Structure 1
């Protein structure tokens, strides 16, 4: 550029040589004035404004000299112009070639950033799609938890209809309460995670749009620069734009330009990594929650099975004590006791006749006259007979009272056993037919994990 400035600097103008001036004396003579003027009539018409020979030669010599100098200056100017034209042509070609090379380098840089932005946009789109799939899994898993929660609450409500003494807070109820609480906690966790996924999807799309806008600007700039690289001196679409050299105030620098795109890529990559981590976190949550629910379901089912076995065993024992035909059963004992009561009543009734006979004999013998009223052996035997019969009747009546009380107790025991058997049957019906049958519809691990 310095060389160009030197070449383009205006050369100093050559000194012009004035035409040869006449001396004042000859000038005065020519003009017919001054001390040497001849005003004679003889020279009238001949001494007009004419030059002297010396003046003519001097004037010719001056013209020759001026022509030589003008020609020399013209040749020098022509050589300098040719040299300047050649130099400016070479400079223009070098400058144009350098500008084309710089524009090509700019194209390469723009293409690299454009490719990076396109890659990041594609990765963000793919990551957002994967996160959307995880969000759908979360929603399906959340919907799948409604059935286990309804099963657990229905089991608790059904077991409230148990009768005393089976209406107890057993380990089945504790496991059901634990299951209901676990499902509520999992539902809250899934809802929070869904909100987190929705927010992350919004951030992914915002940064994707930012990168797409940057990519679109770079595509347009790339097309413009590519079109500029195709321009040459013979292009027909080039025009004069005198004001195009002005730099826009809002124009960026290469540093700020690269920093802007790099910042967009860094932020997009950061959100993409956050989305990837969130997907991994969601996968862990769904896997752990599904396993926890199935483990708790198995624990509840095991508790139900254990409780049903206990109820069945208790019912069998009650039926064992109550069933007919067994030598030591309650019903058999009630039957035997009823027979015993009947025997005692018959024995008491059988003792009444001998007592009446003995008392009648004593009464009749008390009417014997005078000395015949003797306390003989027969009298003593009748008296002892009456006492023995009274003692036997008293003992029989006491035994009858004990037997009737025992029979009453057996009847109460039978009623208690039958009621307890009915309670156990009701409890078994609730646990087996209502609860455990309903629990057969519990979702699978794949459904709880959101895959179905």
Structure 2
């Protein structure tokens, strides 16, 4: 059988044409070639994409590292500023605490001076200065309390800024560790190493864009910078405030002490003058007492010649007859009795006047002694009690 006959039978028996077989073979070769090209292209593209991803990861690492350094610097600044502000908080607290003793002393002095005798309980310069001192100290304490509240609020804001920076740093550190682990991943690593233990947290895309990511850290750093500036300004205010309040309190303290010294000096002067007057009154009382004794003695002595003259007149009144005449002797005796009686009456009047003056002098003595006691009491309150209370007062500059 010829080959032609065999080929014809193959077509007839198999139902295939030679052209179909050839076409199938060519298609298969083309598919194989396309597959090889696709494999090479896919390998080239995947390597390029992986290299590009590695570059992006490295670039991201540098960006995160840069921001971390910036954030760490801001964190250091806010921590240092907070520590300094804490020292200012302590200074204000000590200044506020230091206001208690002077205020207590001032109030005690005011209460002690209420113990003065009512007649001496006047609103003098000391009283006015003590009231002014109380007002100054209470004003300073109120101002320091408000300043302390401002410091506490600024500390809260500083800590808030610090918290956000620390959280940002923590998040960036975590993200950087993840990116570093991603950079270490290779094609021939164990497949299980690439698998996430929590596949549900892998999102196809996050809603935060790079610009928002950068601005987020920028906002945190801006907040730190803003609070640091506010904190520095507040510290400058506190420095000025502590200096001014200490100066005001010291000035008022000196003014009150000067008023006390002047009041004590004036009281001593008045007391000394009254004591001098008292000495004169006592001396005059002694003189008046001697004068009264002299008058009483003189009256008693004058009674004797008066009695003699009266006895003579009485005896001569018993003369008989014509002998009972108004002769010169009778006239003299009558004149003597009259003059002696006038002298005795005048001395008795003088004695009464002397007794009246003595009573007035005694009243002056009692009044002077009472006023001296009043001044002594006021002097004791101002010079002893208040002075001892005020002596330990010392205005500190914290």
Shorter-chain TM-score bucket reads: 0.7 to 0.9
Deviation at 1:362, TM superposition (A): 1.9
Q: Does 1:339 align with 2:290?
A: yes
Superposed, which structure 2 residues align to 1:405-420 within 5 Å? Answer: 405-420=356-371
Instruction: Verify the 8 A CA contact 2:288 2:358 in the aligned structure 1.
Output: yes
Instruction: Verify the 8 A CA contact 2:158 2:224 in the aligned structure 1.
Output: yes
Q: Does 1:158 align with 2:112?
A: yes
TM-score (norm 1): 0.76
Change over 3 Å in CA distance of 1:164–1:252 after alignment to 2: closer
1:136 equivalent in structure 2: 90
Instruction: Verify the 8 A CA contact 1:337 1:403 in the aligned structure 2.
Output: yes
Superposed, which structure 2 residues align to 1:37-436 within 5 Å? Answer: 50-51=4-5, 90-233=44-187, 235=189, 248=204, 250-323=206-279, 329-436=280-387
- Of structures 1 and 2, the larger Rg is shown by 1
Of stretches 65-74 and 279-288 in structure 1, the one that deviates more from structure 2 is 65-74
The structure whose RCO (Cα within 8 Å, separation 6+) is larger is: 2
Change over 3 Å in CA distance of 1:444–1:52 after alignment to 2: closer
Q: For residue 222 of structure 1, give the secondary structure of its aligned residue in structure 2.
A: helix
Deviation at 1:189, TM superposition (A): 2.4
Gaps of 5+ in 1: 1-46, 57-62, 324-328, 447-451
Per-residue CA deviations over 1:114-162 (Å, capped at 9, x if unaligned) read 2222222222222222222222222222222211111111111111112
1:23 equivalent in structure 2: none
Two-structure CA RMSD over aligned residues (Å): 3.4
Instruction: Verify the 8 A CA contact 1:164 1:423 in the aligned structure 2.
Output: no
Gaps of 5+ in 2: 11-16
Q: For residue 422 of structure 1, give the secondary structure of its aligned residue in structure 2.
A: helix
1:18 equivalent in structure 2: none
Work out the CA distance in 2 between the residues paired with 1:389 and 1:237.
156
Work out the CA distance in 2 between the residues paired with 1:288 and 1:71.
104
TM-score (norm 2): 0.85
Deviation at 1:343, TM superposition (A): 0.8
State how many pairs are aligned. 390
Deviation at 1:250, TM superposition (A): 4.1
Deviation at 1:179, TM superposition (A): 1.4
Per-residue CA deviations over 1:64-120 (Å, capped at 9, x if unaligned) read 999999999999888877776666555444433332222222112111222222222
